[in-house]
A and B are shown apart, each in its own frame.
Chain A
Amino acid sequence: MRYIKSKEEQDQADSPQEIIKAEISSSLEDNRQALNVLFDSCSDIVMRDFSFGSPETRGLVIYFDGLVNKDELEQNILRPLLLGMDMLDTKDDDLSGKDIFEEIKNKIISPAEMKAVKTWDELCHHISSGDSALLIDGYEDGIVSGTRSWPTRGITAPENEVVIFGPKEGFNETLRFNTAQIRRRLKSTNFKIESFVLGRVTKTDVIMCYIKNIAPAGMIEEIKKRINEIDIDGVLDTNYIKEFIVDDTKSLFSQVMHTERPDRVCGQLLEGRICIMVDGSPMALILPTTFSEYITSPDDYYTHFIPASLIRLLRFSAFWISLLLPSLYVALISYHQEMIPTALLLTIAASREGVPFPSFVEAFLLEAMFEMLREAGIRLPRAVGPAVSIVGALIIGDAAVRAGLVSTPMVVVVAATGIASFVSPSYNASLIVRILRFGFLAASAMLGFLGIMILLVIVLIRMVSLTSFGVPYLAPLSPLDLSQISDIMVRRPWFVNRRRPYLEGMLNQIRQGNGKDDAS
């Protein structure tokens, strides 16, 4: 019986899939039923019935608890409706002759953002995003008002991209705050923000921003196309988007820059790049990006160009150290001993005396141990994290040396490599270095310097053939662009930095002097 009854009920009421496609009805009762079906088992939905005006008109306010600012809802929507209908027209209390809907929309309720919607689909999207909806008996349109408000983290300093000088603001998880931070820095009508909604379930807001007249139009169209092709149930972080839109989805080289700094986004937008952000993620994607991401940091541009250039050279050498030092050491002491000065070789030989492992195994074990410590350091509670990782490293290193399991120079090499790997300004870019380091280690154990060289050539070939949205990955080193190369290895002072790095199809490369006026 029960089964049949429920089946009957189901026949009577439309299924949620059908309702969502339907338009809002003029009957409040029908609408309420539809809402009950749509938001069945949604305990956080609030539907508030009320009557107002004279003759009495029934209304319904729907919102999700926790997503709306209740004060604003009460003061700007409910109170004016309940109390303020009188103010509409004191002479004539009878509203029957007027279009109540238009009156309410235009004269009574007062949120800054307001919009009439016709379908359930639109209405649901809005209330899920934190807006509140108002349905009035007898009218087919719903009014959604912008009452979004939810607890946010606030604007804090970026944790992963720390700079000494320069702005300390970072993005947070609310997309609108993030776009506002960029807009505040780019007060130009040419700064465009295009939005998409991605994710079948999550319906996440995704935006793509760029500066018109600087960013290549073809690239903008291509990226739009790629974003529109994404069909996925949910988008929770920018990386979801990244994996769909990059040129080479399997490549480990980061073809897209991640940043949580609005100033870095603005700097990159001014170079004609494009930024993608996702609601709910503080990481912005900047594309296209090139190898320069490995050695540049935004605060290069906030300090004097000479120290900034030296620091950039330091980062460049740290990049090579973190990539090659363990493998060079292993190759040196197991293949090319003649290249080590005798005194140094004697010291190394003395500390290797009695170590039971070949140098490759020794290096591999220590490197693996270091990576584990590093990974553990991220997960450990903030208060104990650094202390535990440092103490752990010391104890493991020292005890291992005392026990004769590893040699002291190897600990020094691994530690130096570890320090160098933290110099990289981009965590995402340093991932490949961490992986390749083991590859180089294996290559050096097999063939010494020759092996390192072979792998280096293979990696270089890979990097040269890689493109990021059409831009060669090693640009401007390969293909060589002499006018831009000086802004990669060193930080060019602004007074000579007249041109933007060239991007295919870029409209305006001049950024100073007699260039076109970008900011019109």
Chain B
Amino acid sequence: MKLLRIIGLIIIVLAGSGCSAARELNDAAIVAGIGMELEDQQLKVSLQLAQPALSGQSSSSSGPPFKVVSETGRSFNESLKKIGLSFPREPLLSQANLIILGEKLSKTDLALVADASLRNPSIRKNSVVAVARAASPEDIFNTEVLMESLSASAIPKMLKNQESQIGIYKSVTYDEFLNKLSTPGIEAVAPQVTLFDSLNGKTVKLEGTAVFKGRRMVGSLNSRESRGFRFITPGRMAGGIINIPAPFDDPGMVAMELTRSQTIVKPELQDGKIVMKIEYVGEGNYYEQTSSADILSLENIPVLETLTEQAIKADIKACISKSQKLGSDIFGWGNMVNSWDPDLWKQAENDWDKIFPGINAEITVKFDIRRSYLTDRSMVLK
């Protein structure tokens, strides 16, 4: 009897405490993406909600398989919770794998949302972050994407795919982004998303990389600079296409496929000045030529390799000069100096904004051609 009473008590305690956290799927709405933007001095939070399609039957009937809800308020959470005033379900933020920061918000102050989104346990820190360009997050969420039901799940996929295919932008996760915002000696970047008119109507497109300085966005890298940023980022990398003009007065182009590469960046002191030594070692495949000349021969390979090296080097230089122009240390050179020589960093930290634009980079690029796929000599056309 006593045992029964104790068991009963335990059940009551557990059931009473537990059920409040339980949330049936029928009472929740799945959030695919979270957008944050500044509108009329107020924070606007937009959520792209995935609408569960009733299996098979009614999929053809009406509209896109998502809904976008937005609300403005004085704080992130006020806006978020205000959605509940006009929406009957609880948004499940934990499923969102894309966070879009509005352009205006980025250019004003990210501190408006940084704390709320770091603190909230439901916001995935491994979700992809992107910055809207010439469009509001709400518009991007409201846009349909080809072959994919939700733009919020399409954008991370696009970022991932282009990295192994054309190789321009780097995908950034939200915790990486927040980390860079708060770490001295490194600035944050995030790919930008914009809308454009295609044959299939309005759709989303990746265009540019937003460059932050401190808590504000200060500019943007174009596609060439973005590619350079990808080359310069320390570590291993794979995927991407490099186009070079064909050698020997041939009017065509040659495309190289990057298969793998490694970048090592080291600070060095030369005559009392900090110099960054950037060492890029890559290899790739001969992928295409736009003429029928006999370009890929044993003697020509070193020439082709040198041309590729020059192209990579030019991309890297473009990126460095852009970031130095913007005064934003997106490469984390300050951070590297700090770990290489903390004393030096202590002296330089306060003046880093002035030192960074003047830092010289010694770039060495090494590229090897490995394979040429199905043929070595090109097809000779009549």
Which residues of A line the B interface, CB within 8 A? 333-335, 337-338, 342, 345-355, 358-359, 408, 443, 445-448, 451
Q: Which 9 A-B pairs have the closest CB atoms?
A: A338-B94, A350-B52, A349-B52, A446-B18, A447-B18, A446-B14, A334-B22, A349-B25, A352-B25
In the complex formed, the residue of A with least CB distance to B26 is: A352
User: B48-83 CB contact bits vs A (8 Å, 1 = yes)?
Assistant: 001011110000000000000000000000000000
A333 CA to B27 CA in the complex, in Å?
Answer: 11
The smallest C-beta distance from B77 to any residue of chain A, in angstroms, reads 19
A337 engages B23 (CB within 8 Å): yes
Contact (A342, B55) CB under 8 Å given A335-B21, A349-B25? no
A353 CA to B26 CA in the complex, in Å?
Answer: 6
Interface presence of B306 (CB below 8 A): no
B52 engages A342 (CB within 8 Å): no
A256 CA to B95 CA in the complex, in Å?
Answer: 48
B interface SS class: mixed
Interface presence of B122 (CB below 8 A): yes
The smallest C-beta distance from B53 to any residue of chain A, in angstroms, reads 5
B97 to chain A: which residues have CB within 8 Å? 342
A448 engages B95 (CB within 8 Å): no
User: B9-52 CB contact bits vs A (8 Å, 1 = yes)?
Assistant: 00100110111011111101010100000000000000000101
A349 CA to B90 CA in the complex, in Å?
Answer: 13
Contact (A337, B18) CB under 8 Å given A342-B153, A346-B30? no
Contact (A346, B50) CB under 8 Å given A358-B24, A408-B55? yes
A350 engages B55 (CB within 8 Å): yes
Q: Can you list 20 A-B pairs, Cβ within 8 angstroms, ordered by A?
A: A334-B22, A335-B22, A337-B23, A338-B95, A342-B30, A342-B50, A342-B95, A346-B50, A349-B25, A350-B52, A352-B26, A353-B26, A355-B26, A443-B14, A446-B14, A446-B15, A447-B17, A448-B18, A448-B22, A451-B14
A353 engages B54 (CB within 8 Å): yes
CB within 8 Å of A: which B258-310 residues? none
A347 to chain B: which residues have CB within 8 Å? 52, 55
B21 to chain A: which residues have CB within 8 Å? 335, 448
Contact (A349, B14) CB under 8 Å given A334-B22, A342-B97, A448-B22? no
A335 CA to B53 CA in the complex, in Å?
Answer: 22
In the complex formed, the residue of B with least CB distance to A359 is: B24
Contact of A345 among B14, B22, B55, B95 (CB under 8 A): B95
Q: How many A-B contacts if CB must be within 8 Å?
A: 75
Which residues of B line the A interface, CB within 8 A? 11, 14-15, 17-19, 21-26, 28, 30, 32, 50, 52-55, 92, 94-95, 97, 122, 124, 153
The smallest C-beta distance from B154 to any residue of chain A, in angstroms, reads 12
Contact of A342 among B11, B22, B26, B32 (CB under 8 A): B32
A337 engages B26 (CB within 8 Å): no
A337 CA to B122 CA in the complex, in Å?
Answer: 10
A467 CA to B121 CA in the complex, in Å?
Answer: 44
The smallest C-beta distance from B283 to any residue of chain A, in angstroms, reads 35
In the complex formed, the residue of B with least CB distance to A352 is: B25
Contact (A446, B26) CB under 8 Å given A346-B52, A353-B52, A451-B14? no
A345 engages B24 (CB within 8 Å): no
The smallest C-beta distance from B176 to any residue of chain A, in angstroms, reads 19
A345 CA to B24 CA in the complex, in Å?
Answer: 12
In the complex formed, the residue of B with least CB distance to A355 is: B26
In the complex formed, the residue of B with least CB distance to A408 is: B55
A349 to chain B: which residues have CB within 8 Å? 25, 28, 30, 52
B92 to chain A: which residues have CB within 8 Å? 337-338
A335 CA to B52 CA in the complex, in Å?
Answer: 19
In the complex formed, the residue of A with least CB distance to B94 is: A338
A342 CA to B122 CA in the complex, in Å?
Answer: 14
A359 to chain B: which residues have CB within 8 Å? 24-25
Contact of A337 among B32, B53, B95, B153 (CB under 8 A): B95
A163 CA to B22 CA in the complex, in Å?
Answer: 45
A494 CA to B122 CA in the complex, in Å?
Answer: 53
B18 to chain A: which residues have CB within 8 Å? 445-448, 451
Contact of A335 among B23, B95, B124, B153 (CB under 8 A): B23
Extra 8 A-B pairs, beta carbons < 8 Å, given A347-B52, A351-B55? A333-B24, A337-B94, A346-B52, A347-B55, A350-B53, A446-B18, A447-B14, A448-B21
The smallest C-beta distance from A394 to any residue of chain B, in angstroms, reads 18
The smallest C-beta distance from B300 to any residue of chain A, in angstroms, reads 48
A354 to chain B: which residues have CB within 8 Å? 26
A345 engages B30 (CB within 8 Å): yes
A351 to chain B: which residues have CB within 8 Å? 55
A346 to chain B: which residues have CB within 8 Å? 30, 50, 52-53
A345 CA to B19 CA in the complex, in Å?
Answer: 21
A345 CA to B21 CA in the complex, in Å?
Answer: 18
B23 engages A334 (CB within 8 Å): yes
Contact of B124 among A338, A350, A353 (CB under 8 A): A338
B26 to chain A: which residues have CB within 8 Å? 352-355
A445 to chain B: which residues have CB within 8 Å? 18, 22
In the complex formed, the residue of A with least CB distance to B54 is: A350
A352 to chain B: which residues have CB within 8 Å? 24-26
B24 engages A334 (CB within 8 Å): yes
The smallest C-beta distance from A396 to any residue of chain B, in angstroms, reads 19
A334 engages B95 (CB within 8 Å): no
Q: Considering residues A338, A408, A443, which has the most beta carbons from chain B within 10 angstroms of its beta carbon?
A: A338
A333 CA to B25 CA in the complex, in Å?
Answer: 7
A31 CA to B82 CA in the complex, in Å?
Answer: 102
A445 CA to B17 CA in the complex, in Å?
Answer: 11
Contact of A348 among B19, B22, B25, B53 (CB under 8 A): B25
A337 CA to B30 CA in the complex, in Å?
Answer: 9
A355 CA to B19 CA in the complex, in Å?
Answer: 19
In the complex formed, the residue of A with least CB distance to B96 is: A342
A399 CA to B122 CA in the complex, in Å?
Answer: 37
A350 CA to B65 CA in the complex, in Å?
Answer: 12
A446 to chain B: which residues have CB within 8 Å? 11, 14-15, 18-19
The smallest C-beta distance from B346 to any residue of chain A, in angstroms, reads 42
The smallest C-beta distance from B89 to any residue of chain A, in angstroms, reads 11
A337 to chain B: which residues have CB within 8 Å? 23, 25, 28, 30, 92, 94-95
A46 CA to B191 CA in the complex, in Å?
Answer: 102
